[in-house]
Each structure stands twice: as structure tokens, then as C-alpha cells.
Structure 1
Amino acid sequence: MDITKFVVASREKALFYGDYSTYRSQLTGKLLTCRKKLHIATQNRGKYNPNVKFSSEQIAENHGFLHLQLLTAERAYAHALAMKASHSEDTRGMSAKTKSRIIAKLEKAARIAEALAGTVSQGGAASASPVDKLEAHAYAALLRGAAEFERQNWEACLKSYSVARLAYLALSSHSSLDTFKDLLSETIEPSIRFAAYQAKIPRTQPIDAISRRAFSAADSSIVDLIKAVNGSVLESEEESGKKGSDGTPTTLTWRGREVKIEDAAIASAWASVETAKSKLAVKLASPVPLQPKKMAAAYDDILTASQDAVDATKQAIDELKSEGATQSDARMQRLQITRTAVNFELVSWRIGRNRVLVGEVDGALPDHGQPSGRKQAKEGSETARREDLPPRKQIARLKEKAVLYDGILQSIETIQELPGVANDEELTGRLAATSQYFNALKALAISRSHLIAGNDANALALIQHALNECSNALPVLSSEQRAGSSPRNLLVDKTDARQLHDMLCSELQRSRALVGILNSAKASSATTDNNKTSKPALVNSLSTYPDEGVDLENIVRYPPQMEAIPVKPIFLDVAWNYISYPDRNEKAAAGAAAGSAGKSQDKTTSASEEEAKPQKRGWFGFGR
């Protein structure tokens, strides 16, 4: 019969384009069409008979009689809500006459639905299954709860809405549609929560406990129908284990301590966390390898669900404080444990998202580049050759990793500040070891940036620091083991810690070798420079042939230095004219003896020649 589907589809279609007044006018047209099809339409100038009764056999033969009753009840319901919406913005408030009319319309809709449920439940309806009967009773309870809500009869309202809630919970297990779940989350459960508040029921009680207590006064026929459809929703908390009737958990375990979840919002949010956790594991376990950004995007659902659980816990604590509860109250202590657990879960998944963003093995493996887009399109991402990035982009990538590690370390500090964590020595020690592990990864990333920049000594110091941090954390982390298919979170298993330790040992040896080579090169360069300084340059010894061969690296002295240069002073030119050498004097003495005879002639000749020659003036033979 699909009673719920027929009603919800009609409401959604009308409210999508208009309001309840539009819905009421559409129902009027549908009612006339349905009456004409059933041949019960009022004739021209005839008298309208609203109390037309139908038997269960007629409903079994033709579902049009069922739809006629549903449309009639829905029109009265739409009329009541249209009047309520039209007076909602009235500043003077709703008058008593209008309120009574609204209650009368809702009462009419509830009576029609209850009469329909009674007719469908009769034994003559051969085609009515237990599911159809339960749907009819759930729809009648839903309208009755709306009528009692407007009357402000909170006990009766809780009873009716509790019947509708448990009935729709049982029906939701037999259908894959979200129609029943939407009714529960958007209409029934908020109404139960408000009615319980008006009835002075503590807010910390979950909706499941409130609805069970109110449902205990329901008719036995409805109980039998729910048991026939899905009897597990009526099981008590002890019989159903740690899950509520709607599948939400009733207990929460934190560090071996089990606490009861008394708030419905927390239970629903915690159930969403468990569901998102299973979905995340399925996504990350896919055979197709995912890129780091896509893997990080898969954490969005579980982070949202965890944040909802944190918000619900904070709201419950604030409400309990507003009621005057002290810290010694058992309810407050349970909520504080729940707060620590849900915050730990949220921060743990944040750390997991950052861990998948930094790359494989928590970013310990060197990331030289990404697959080329052309290669990736041609050969696929698995077989594409990785192209080396330029040094500038490699350093930028390492800076991004360092920022992610800083975020992880800040998240670990947030966990250490949660209530109750400081008193847990085992957890505190594991958090300290985890912090040392990520400090080692951060130092490794910074050391690689120094290697790229050419600062080998700085890189060696950072790698030594990273190895010390990892060595201190390794004994604590060696006791942890993560399942192979579980998503990454705060837990660092022994495989990751051991792999990082081995990698740091090899990186330390490599850095030591690089620094040793650099120091050796500097020493040899200094020796060569000293040798060049002790030997004269080739340009200064051109008059001497080099016995050991020409040193082409020592042709001139560079950089040039201030030194003395041999020069001939100008006074040497002057002195040259007055210097007589020994050989010249000897020649003059020998010639004097031989030419004594012609001395007179020579004197005459020389005198005439001296008169013919001009006389020199000045130092250089020219003068004035």
C-alpha cells in the first residue's frame, strides 16, 4: 500500500513549489478526481455526505479508497498548518479562536487516520500485510501527536510520537529508502525532545529511553505489529547489547573505562563516527592507488562526524552546568570522560589526514617530483617517469612538509591538555614518543633543504638531532602495531618508527661523507694556494728556465698585491755622462804616446772642429 511513501511524496511535491495553502488547494483537486474515479462524487444539486464508510474488502480490492482517506486527512492537516503559518508573524499573537480551529482541524485529521488504521487492521483485508498495518498505525500516531502537541498535552504527545518513532524504526529495517529516517530526524525526534523538555524530563536522557518509557502504555495490538515486523526495536538495552534500538551506541569506551552515553545527540554523533570510520577504511583500501590529496579528502566525513560529537558533548556539559550540576556529579564525570574521548578521536583523525598529505612513510622518503602530465596521460601514473623538480620547488615542497609537521605537533600538544590525559602515565609517554617521532621527521625535512642549498654541515647537525629524537622514541613506539588496512591516525606503529630510524642512520653516514669530502677539498685548496704564494710567478722569472716544467696555474700572481718594482731613477742618466770606465782610460794613455808628434796638428784640427760644433746646454743637450 505504501502509505508513508504516498503521504511524504505528496507533501514534498507541493511544498517544493509553495506552502501549505498550495498543498491544501492541490489536495482539494485530487480529492475530487479520486471521488470521480470511485464513482462517489456528489451529483449536481445533491447533498454532500462526508461520512462515507468503506470496508476492508473494498480497500483490498481498490487502493483508491485508501488514497481517498489519506487525502482527506492530509487536507485537514494542511489546513491547520496553513492557518498556523499565516498567524506566525502576527505581533499580537494567535487568538484563542484561531488556536481552537487549528486544534479542531488536526483532531479531524487524526480521527480519519485512526479510522483508516482500524479498517486496514481488520482481518478481512486479505492484501494488508503487517507492514501495511503498521504504516497505517504509525501515520495515525503521527497526526495524533501533532494534535496533542498543539493542545500542549505533553504526556499524550510523548506517547503518540513514541508509538510513531518505534513503528518507523521497525519499518526502516524493511526499506532502503530514507523516507522513514527523514521523518524520524526532522519531525518525530525534535518533537519528542521538546515535549520531554516541557514535561520536565532531564535533557541528559536519550530519546530512546524517553520513547520506551512512553511507549509502555501503548496498545497491545501495536506492540504485536512491531514485533511481527522487527522485534529488535523493542528489546531492552541489556538484551540488545551496546546498541540502541535505532542502532546508536549506548556506551563509550576510553582507555579501558566504559561510560554510558545518556545524551541522544552524542549517541547519534558517535554512531556517525563509527560509520564514517568504516567508510574511510573501505576508500583507502581500494586497489587503485590514490593521490595524497584524494586520500586526505577521504578524511572529511569522519572529521565532520567527530566535530559533531565534540559539539554535542560540549552542549550537553553546558546544559548540565546551567542546571546547577557540580564536577562531583556522576553525570558530569561521565560527560568529561566522553569529552576527552571524542576530542581525542577528532585530533587523532586530523593528524592522520596530515600524515597522508606528507607522503609515504610519513614523508620520510625523498620526494623528487611528480609524474609528468603528458607521460601520465600516455602511460599511466604508475609507469610514468618521475621528472626531477628544480631546487627552488624542492625546497618549497620541503617547507610544506615542515608546516604539516608543525600542525601535527600542535595537535599532540592539544591532546596533552585534555582533561585526564596528564594523569595517564602510559598515554603521556606514548604522546611524548610520538612528538619525538614527528620532530625527527621535521628535522629530516629541514636538513634536506640545507643539502639542496649546499649547507652540508647544517644538514649533518640536523640529521644527528633527528636520529637522537628517533632513537629516544623507538623503544616506546616498538610496542604499537597498526592493522594493515586501518587508516592512518595518531597511532605510530613500530614499522614506521623502525623504517625512519634505519633511514636516518643511512642519511647520517651520507652526510658525514659529504662533509668529509668538503673539508678535504678545502684543505687541498688551501695547500695549493700556499704553494702558489711561496713560488714566484712565471712572469717574474722569465730569464730563468724552469727545471720542473712550466706551471701554467702560476703565470701571474692573482689577486695582485702591493710590491716593490725595480726602476732606473732619472739621476742615473745624468751620472752616465761623468762616469769613465777603466778600458776607456787605458785606450787614452796608449794613444797619447803614439800621437805626440802630431799633437800640434791635432790641436789645430781639434780646435777648428770644436769651433764648428755647437755647445751643449742643459742636462739633456738642449737649452735656451
Structure 2
Amino acid sequence: EGVETTGPQAPPEAPGREPLSVPILETVRNAQSTHGLKHQEFSRYRQYCSRRLRRIYKGVRFLHGRGRFQKKALEPATVKDARHVMIPLVASERAWAHAMDLKNEAESSPAPGPMRSHLHRRLAKAAAHAAALCTLASARCDSRTSLEAQAYALLMAGTLAQERGRDWAEAGAVLARCRALLAGLAAAGTFDQQAVCRYFLDQVEPAIRYCQYQAAREGSGAHAAAAAGAGDDAAAEQLASQLAALQATPGGGDSVAAAHGGAAAPAADFEWRGAKFPVPDARTRTALQAAQERERELVAGQADAGSLEKRVALSDRVAAAYGDALSGVEAALALGQSGSVEELRALERAVRGRVLDLTLRRYSLVLQAADAGRARAQRRRLAGGRAERGREAGAEARPEDAVRALDALLAAAQQLHDLAAELGGSVGETIMDDAAAMTAGFQAQRSAAVAHILLAARSWREAASLFARAGELAGHAVERHQECERVDEEAVRGLVSLQSSTAAFRAVAAAEAAAEAAALGDRAASDVEALALDPNAPTESAAGHAYLCDDWDAPQAFVGEGKSTARIARIPPRLEPIPVRPIVLDAALNYITMPSLAHRVAKKAGTGVVSRLFGWGER
């Protein structure tokens, strides 16, 4: 029943024959996701495997006779191409797909017995092909290919034992060994290889739980746990040695660091806001080191980068590098490898916090550009036109840009506050205080930005109220910053400057509102004084306001002593030109000769007595 997959180590390679490298698990995953298994179409996948197997046979000239079929054995000595290794893999996949198709048919069949027997035979065939693949890989392939072949063979053997249901403990033990091997391969692989291992682990883990459940129902749960432990103890030492050899080979383990040009070994800790977080995974350390190098380039290039677009692009590249590192941490956390889960979760929060810091820096640059554009626009208005525009560089900024940037900053500060709450401890409390102080400052700046929009729209009263509110929020933000453990002096100076500027703009808005109210009062008083009931009083006919309907808002007397002098509306109304439809004259109609329709006109029947009697007059 079982299939031996952890055979002897690979024999020494013959001179001149380099080991082959075949991504077995990745090939299976890509084929299954592309050719029908997304929709559980096992018959389609089986047909694809048959066609591919035939193409491989022809490509490597490994044909089984010309006329009559003669089985040709595939020996390690005859393997010269990676396609030879694909022959047992594709054959195993074809047999497995046939078995799964039979399983679906047996579930809806009234007599599933023969189908289940056929299913078991096809799974046994798949396990046999997987064992042959394991033998070829251990003899002719590199260490990672050999381990992937062992994991695939264990998966086929565990699936066969599970479907037969004779010994649930043995099935669970085989699948547990497969899970341990897949987890080790993920720990020694790249991010893409970790995703492939996660794909197969998602299939193995439910099967293990099902075997444990069935073993517990039969009362052999303790036996299943003992068998699984015995299997792990027997294969643990050999698996550890193979994975250690894989780490030492090029393309595995710490060789990722060598891919970055032989740089110095990455630090074992990741520092964020004064706290250090251990990085247990070598690939994650390398990704974090690359992100930190890009961040140093960003800080060094801030002075050289002239335009806002260049600085924002640099910040986006650094955030993308940290995003790649965060993906690696999440993959390691999903696999439950490389250290304790708590350390990985703390590292994940720290990397997310660094990404949020970069987001705050990015939108701060956008906010500075928006404020500079608003200041330029105000100076041009004070200069009386566009005379100053040519002397100052910088694109025109809309007032709404500052509000959008501040909305993004407020959202990032809130996320940082929530992240600090998850982090906990003294470090989390410090970050929460910093986030609360930043939130208060951004709220003050947003109130000032909206007030400037209202000021430009000549809404003086609303602008004055918002400027006063912005000053109060700025004072509150200064107090929050001073309560922090590390006071941000630059932010405090900016908030104090914001207080003074909002006070000045509040005075300007209040003065404009008072002037507008005084002007309206003077106009209303003059209009009331001009009211009169004298019919001979001069009217505003020259200005076009002789009647009430012409101007409803003008405070004028439109009614005299008598009814004849009332000027409510003009009767009859003033004549105004209106557009009419154009007149079309068809001058060519009289010169067109119409075709004759005589042949289509019905002929009249005869009306004589003889014609009516003999029917000669009928049509």
C-alpha cells in the first residue's frame, strides 16, 4: 500500500552530467489552475495530461515501438533532459485526474462499487508513477527537485490510503510527513516557492484533519498520533540534513542575499520608532535590507529632487519595497515557520508601521506643495494680477488639493493609532500619543484649508468662523505634542505659525464681512430714502427697471396715486424677435418627370350582359 519516498541519498553524478532542476510543484500547480481544475473539470485535465504526455514522448524520442506497443522502461541512466523527468509526473497527474473523475461519478451512481474499485486502481497507478518520479529525481536532479518529488509522492500515497480507508492512522501519518516536508521546502525557498507550497498545504491540512476525525471515530486516535509521531521521528533527521544541504546550495536559503551583489549580511533585527523586532527569516531580512537601502536613497535624494513628482515617485518606490518585505512576512506567518508566531506578528506590525510612516511622508510633500501654490496665488492677487507668476516656479495648485492630502494624512494617522493599540506595551503607548498629536495637528490644518477655500469664495463669515476654529485646534495640537515623550519641534513650530496666520486671516475675513455688511446697509438706506409715491417722480426707465417685473429686488416705488400710474408689468409685452423654422423652397420639383404607374393600376371589369353571363369580364 505505502510508497517509499525517502530512499537513499542521490548517488554521485557521473562526470560531465550536471544535475537537472525541475520545478515539480510549481509545474503541477500551474497546470491544474490553467487546464480545468479551477472549475473541478477533471476530465478536461486528464485529456490535457494525455496530450502533453504524447508531446513529451515525441519530443524526447521515447516511443514504445512502432506498431505493437512495447513498454520501454525509463531508467536514471537514460535521463538526459528535464522532459524525461516530466514523463512520470504527467502520467501520475493523468491517473490522479481519472481517479478524481471516477470519484465524482461514483457519488451520483446507484452502484458505486465497481467505480470505487476502478478509482483505487487509478490512484495506485498514480502513486506508482510518483514513486518512479521520486527515484529519477533522487538520481538525476538537484536537492530541491528531489525533495519536491518526495513531497509529491507522499501526497499521492496519502491520497490513496485515505480513499481506501483501511488504516486512517497510516493515511494521517503519511500526510503529516508530506506537510512537514512542504513546510521545510517553503522555509528554504523564495516567496514564489512559498506560495506554491502554501497551495499544496491548503490541500493536505483538511485531509489530515479528516483522517484524524475518522481515526477518532474508530477509536484509534491515540494510535494515529503515535504513528504520526513515529513517522516524524524516523524522517526528521534525514529531512533536516536534506534541508540543510538545500540551504547550502546556490538558489536556496541565504543565497538570496548573495543575489544582491554580495552585500553585507542583513541585520537580524528591524528597528522602528526606537524598538527592535527580530527577523527570523533570511529572505525577509534581505527584503527589508533592500527596502532600507532605498529609503536611504530617498533621504539622500530629497535635496536633489527638484519637482514634487520626482520626490513622490521616490517615496512610492520605497513603499513598494517595504510592501514586498511585508508580503514575505505574511507568507512566513501563514506557514507558521521561522520562529514563534508572536515574533512574526510583531514584525508584521512594525513593517506596516514603516509603510504608514512613508505614507505620512508622501502626503506631507503633497500638502507642502499645495500650501506653496496657495501662497503664490495669494501673492499674485495682492500684486494685482499675474505679474509675479513668471518669476516663481511651480504649477498652479487648487485649494482642494490641500484638503485631499489632509484627509489622507488623517486616515494614515488613524491607522497608525490602531496599529499602536495592537502593538501594546510602552512602545505602543508612545506611538499612540504621537498619532493623537499628529491627528490634532492635521485637523487644525484641514480647518484652515477649508477656511481658505471659503475666503477665496468671498464667504467672509464662514471663513472667519473656521479660522477661529483652526486656531483653537492648533493650540490643542501644540499641547498634545508637548505631552509626547519625544516632542516634534518642527511640528510645534508649524502649529504656532498656523495659529498666528489663522488669527491674521480671521481678522481679514471679519473686516471683509463688516465692510460688506456696512455696504449693504448703506445701499439699503439710500434705496429706502429714494422711495416715493409721487406719480411724477423720475423712474429708472433709462436703466431698464421701469416695471416691477423687470427687477424684483430693487427697492423702488412702482405704484403711484392712481391705478393708471402703476408700473407692475408692461401691457402689451415688448415685442422680441423669436427664432422661426427656415422656409425651404424646392425649385427642382417642377422639372422632375415622375415614372408611369399604369401597369400597377387595376383594370376595370366588363359591365355588359354577355360578359357578366360567361365571365369574360373577370380579371
What TM-score does the superposition give when structure 2 sets the normalisation length?
Answer: 0.51
Counterpart in the other structure of 1:230: 247
2:46 to 24, 46, 49: 24
User: Which amino acid letter does the alignment assign opposite residue 444 of structure 1?
Assistant: A
Which deviations, in whole Å up to 9, do the C-alpha atoms of 1:98-133 show, x marking residues without a partner? 3443333222222232234335535xxxx6444454
Which deviations, in whole Å up to 9, do the C-alpha atoms of 1:331-369 show, x marking residues without a partner? 9xx98x999997898799679757745754578835439
Matches within 5 A, 1:236-315: 289-290=308-309
Report how far residue 562 of structure 1 moved: 10
- Does structure 2 conserve the Cα–Cα contact (< 8 Å) formed by 1:276 and 1:301? yes
Tell me whether 1:56 sits opposite 2:76 in the alignment. Answer: yes
Matches within 5 A, 1:380-529: 386=394, 394=399, 396=400, 400=404, 426=430, 429-452=433-456, 453=458, 454-455=460-461, 457-458=464-465, 461-477=468-484, 479=486, 493-505=488-500, 507-508=501-502, 510-511=504-505, 514=508
Counterpart in the other structure of 1:218: 235
User: Which amino acid letter does the alignment assign opposite residue 23 of structure 1?
Assistant: Y
- Does structure 1 conserve the Cα–Cα contact (< 8 Å) formed by 2:444 and 2:471? no
Report how far residue 465 of structure 1 moved: 1.7
CA distance in 1, matches of 2:508, 2:529: 34
Question: Structure 1 residues 100 and 346 mapped into 2: Cα distance closer, same or farther (>3 Å)?
Answer: farther
Report how far residue 479 of structure 1 moved: 1.4
User: Which amino acid letter does the alignment assign opposite residue 72 of structure 1?
Assistant: A
Which deviations, in whole Å up to 9, do the C-alpha atoms of 1:402-458 show, x marking residues without a partner? 755765686688679879689986566445433432332233224424543344754
CA distance in 2, matches of 1:260, 1:63: 37
Question: Structure 1 residues 450 and 464 mapped into 2: Cα distance closer, same or farther (>3 Å)?
Answer: same
Which deviations, in whole Å up to 9, do the C-alpha atoms of 1:214-239 show, x marking residues without a partner? 6443276555433322269999xxxx
User: Which amino acid letter does the alignment assign opposite residue 57 of structure 1?
Assistant: A
Matches within 5 A, 1:147-162: 147-151=160-164, 153-162=171-180
Report how far residue 276 of structure 1 moved: 12
SS of the residue 1:166 aligns to: helix
- Does structure 2 conserve the Cα–Cα contact (< 8 Å) formed by 1:363 and 1:441? no
Report how far residue 141 of structure 1 moved: 2.9
CA distance in 2, matches of 1:272, 1:193: 33
CA distance in 2, matches of 1:43, 1:438: 80
CA distance in 2, matches of 1:402, 1:62: 60
SS of the residue 2:234 aligns to: coil
Q: Which runs of 5+ in 1 are unaligned?
A: 202-210, 236-246, 262-266, 317-330, 372-381, 481-492, 534-556, 564-624
CA distance in 2, matches of 1:12, 1:519: 69
Tell me whether 1:74 sits opposite 2:81 in the alignment. Answer: no
User: Which amino acid letter does the alignment assign opposite residue 502 of structure 1?
Assistant: S
Tell me whether 1:368 sits opposite 2:364 in the alignment. Answer: no
- Does structure 2 conserve the Cα–Cα contact (< 8 Å) formed by 1:460 and 1:512? yes
User: Which amino acid letter does the alignment assign opposite residue 76 of structure 2?
Assistant: S
User: Which amino acid letter does the alignment assign opposite residue 443 of structure 1?
Assistant: S
User: Which amino acid letter does the alignment assign opposite residue 41 of structure 1?
Assistant: H
- Does structure 2 conserve the Cα–Cα contact (< 8 Å) formed by 1:162 and 1:214? no
CA distance in 2, matches of 1:363, 1:154: 63
- Does structure 2 conserve the Cα–Cα contact (< 8 Å) formed by 1:340 and 1:418? no
Tell me whether 1:102 sits opposite 2:102 in the alignment. Answer: no
User: Which amino acid letter does the alignment assign opposite residue 77 of structure 2?
Assistant: E
Question: Structure 1 residues 407 and 164 mapped into 2: Cα distance closer, same or farther (>3 Å)?
Answer: closer
SS of the residue 1:41 aligns to: coil
Report how far residue 184 of structure 1 moved: 0.9
CA distance in 1, matches of 2:84, 2:476: 78
RMSD: 6.3
SS of the residue 1:290 aligns to: helix
User: Which amino acid letter does the alignment assign opposite residue 444 of structure 2?
Assistant: A
CA distance in 2, matches of 1:197, 1:255: 47
Tell me whether 1:84 sits opposite 2:90 in the alignment. Answer: no
CA distance in 2, matches of 1:168, 1:428: 36
Question: Structure 1 residues 307 and 504 mapped into 2: Cα distance closer, same or farther (>3 Å)?
Answer: farther
CA distance in 2, matches of 1:355, 1:279: 17
- Does structure 2 conserve the Cα–Cα contact (< 8 Å) formed by 1:398 and 1:449? no
Q: Which runs of 5+ in 2 are unaligned?
A: 1-19, 216-227, 255-265, 378-389, 533-619
Report how far residue 167 of structure 1 moved: 4.0
Query: Who wins on radius of gyration, i.e. which is larger?
Result: 1
User: Which amino acid letter does the alignment assign opposite residue 22 of structure 1?
Assistant: R
User: Which amino acid letter does the alignment assign opposite residue 56 of structure 1?
Assistant: P
CA distance in 1, matches of 2:512, 2:32: 80
CA distance in 2, matches of 1:309, 1:129: 27
Question: Structure 1 residues 231 and 28 mapped into 2: Cα distance closer, same or farther (>3 Å)?
Answer: same
Report how far residue 250 of structure 1 moved: 13
Counterpart in the other structure of 2:212: 199
CA distance in 2, matches of 1:188, 1:279: 34
What TM-score does the superposition give when structure 1 sets the normalisation length?
Answer: 0.51
CA distance in 2, matches of 1:56, 1:418: 55
2:132 to 115, 122, 130: 115
Which deviations, in whole Å up to 9, do the C-alpha atoms of 1:124-146 show, x marking residues without a partner? xxx64444544443432343343
CA distance in 2, matches of 1:273, 1:63: 31
Matches within 5 A, 1:111-190: 111-122=128-139, 128-151=141-164, 153-167=171-185, 169-170=187-188, 172-173=189-190, 178=192, 180-190=193-203
Matches within 5 A, 1:11-50: 11=32, 14-15=35-36, 19-29=41-51, 31=53, 38=61, 41-42=64-65, 44=67, 46=68, 48-49=70-71
Report how far residue 150 of structure 1 moved: 3.4
